[in-house]
Amino acid sequence: MKLHIVLVEPEIPQNTGNIARTCAAIGGKLHLVKPLGFKISDKYVKRAGLDYWDKLELEEHDSLNKFLEKYPLEKNNMYLVTTKGKQVYSENIFGNLDEVFVLFGKETKGLPEDLLKNNLDRTIRIPMKKNLRSLNLSNSVAIVAYEILRQKNFECLEEISTYFN
């Protein structure tokens, strides 16, 4: 399974650092879509990612349009995460896929409304109480990424022996 985590215009460096660490740990590719609300060399990004940056597959894109030109929605298994999503992220939709792109929007606004409206069948959501705006971005990425891997029986992750063996 090849998992692509796509952050569209992320604003908070610590979130991106945490997400980079998660991607490194699961072997996922991180895509950063500009403009970014920080410099990738920002000390907060680096600190949150710890010493995982050299283990991360990272690709930067100048805009969402450039990303979608390179990876067209119609030709890829692409899911858009939004609080308004049509499907719950835990529905069994990833089990038969070999490659998945999951797009997350900026912390303050999410993904562009027109992108969501034109692709409702590709939207997924994490259930939460009404009248709350959203979960933290790095938590949302971890929740969705690990569910995708669970549906694939964690086949791309190495089995780690337990401490007590």
The pLDDT tens digits for 33-59 are 999 988 877 676 666 555 777 889 999
- Higher-confidence residue of 150 and 161: namely 150
* pLDDT given for residue 140 in this prediction: 98
Domain boundaries, the chain: 2-151
- Higher-confidence residue of 118 and 54: namely 118
Q: Residue 129, Cα to own-chain centre: how many angstroms? A: 22
Nearest-angstrom CA–CA distance, 79 and 104: 9
Architecture of domain 2-151: 3-Layer(aba) Sandwich (3.40)
Nearest-angstrom CA–CA distance, 132 and 35: 26
* pLDDT given for residue 52 in this prediction: 78
- Give the CA angle between residues 98, 103, 106 to the nearest 5°: 160
Q: Work out the mean pLDDT of the chain and round it to a whole number.
A: 90
Residue that the structure tokens 């998992």 belong to: 3
Residue 63 CB partners (closer than 8 Å, separation 6+): 33, 34
Query: pTM value?
Result: 0.92
